[in-house]
Amino acid sequence: MYHKWLQAFHAVAKEGGFTVAARSLNLGQPTISIHVKALEEQFGVELFHRHGRTVKLTSVGHSLLTITQGLYGHEEEAIQHLRAAQQLEAGELRVGAIGPFDVMELLQHYRHQHPKVNLSVNLGAKADVLSDLMAFETDVGILAEPESDPRLHQLFYNRYEVVVIVNDNHPWAKRKRLRIRDLVGQPMVLRTEGSTTRTAFERALEAAGVDIHPVMEINNRDAVREAVIRGLGIGVVSQSEFIPGERLRALRVIDAKMHVDAYVACLAERLNRPLIGAFFAVAEDLIKRRAR
């Protein structure tokens, strides 16, 4: 009861008239008049001096306005803030990803289009990226394979070949390609189980009936690269993760299908959120550019 009366009073005091106040609250003018009158009669006070369509606050009205300003005065500021977020002029987008390549490409273009949106990125294992999405701790995730969870909206973004890497002192350093059977018995430095690159590699090995000789498991792609540089074994990486340099060589496996994919994902119920929808729009635009 009091809430409606006080809200009507504040609108009239702020707008300077009953007609404008009614329009701002999307109510009829008679309703506004009834609310203000009820407030005055309830406490036996006069809040406005009325002269035709002109209203002027009484001393009691002035005092009351200083109070209602705290109740309703920040509403306009709040609405402006929400409109800014809707128009991508404010807010924060939180992104989780299993690797840096795709997410940085996407964020580069996203930031170019929406420079006022704050961005945060968390790199981690696939399970962590999914967990954060489900817990609303991130808004968008970059995954390496699609999930069968109907709660997710997923967009295929890109596909990368898995290549073998050796150091520049390896007998294969001058080669550009090899066959998967060449890897029989070779010392291999592998990512730990659960790595999408390792999974793709092991599927290809199984399909070809090839056994390798793992000598080390590492949970970090940069550490795999360093181990290969130091001659501890041969590695495999996604082509997107390979950094050309004098100390490493990448070789294509010409008779095996080894690849990892990149998917952009979010909770399906959140796709229509402006910040998230804009991220998918950027991804779709980059996909179209790549297809040209």
User: Which CATH fold would you assign to the domain 159-260?
Assistant: D-Maltodextrin-Binding Protein; domain 2 (3.40.190)
Reported as half-sphere exposure (CB side, CA atoms, 13 A), residue 45 has a value of 14
Look-up of token digits 């000598």:
215
* CB distance 239 to 160 below 8 Å: yes
Q: Name the CATH superfamily, with its identifier, for domain 88-157+261-291.
A: Periplasmic binding protein-like II (3.40.190.10)
CA distances from 20 to 12, 28, 187 (A): 8, 10, 80
Hey, how many other C-beta atoms are within 10 angstroms of the C-beta on 232? 17
pLDDT value of position 112: 94
Strand duo 248-253 + 177-178: pairing: parallel
The token pair at 264 is 């952009």
Q: What is the pLDDT of residue 262?
A: 94
Enter the tokens of residue 3.
């809430």
Q: Where are the domains of the chain?
A: 2-73, 88-157+261-291, 159-260
Of 253, 250, 239, residue with least CA distance to 205: 253
How many C-beta atoms lie closer than 10 Å to residue 69's C-beta? 13
The pLDDT of residue 209 is 92
Per-residue pLDDT of the chain (292 residues; tens, 9 = 90+): 788 888 898 999 888 899 898 998 899 999 999 999 998 898 888 888 887 777 889 888 888 888 888 777 666 666 666 777 777 877 889 999 988 899 999 999 999 999 989 999 999 888 899 999 999 999 999 998 899 999 999 999 999 999 999 999 999 999 999 999 999 989 999 998 878 899 999 999 999 999 999 999 998 888 999 999 999 999 999 988 888 777 999 999 999 999 999 999 999 999 988 899 999 999 999 999 988 7
CA dihedral 201, 202, 208, 210 (to 10 degrees): 110
Fold agreement between 2-73 and 88-157+261-291? no
Question: What fold, for 2-73?
Answer: Arc Repressor Mutant, subunit A (1.10.10)
Q: What is the pTM of this model?
A: 0.69
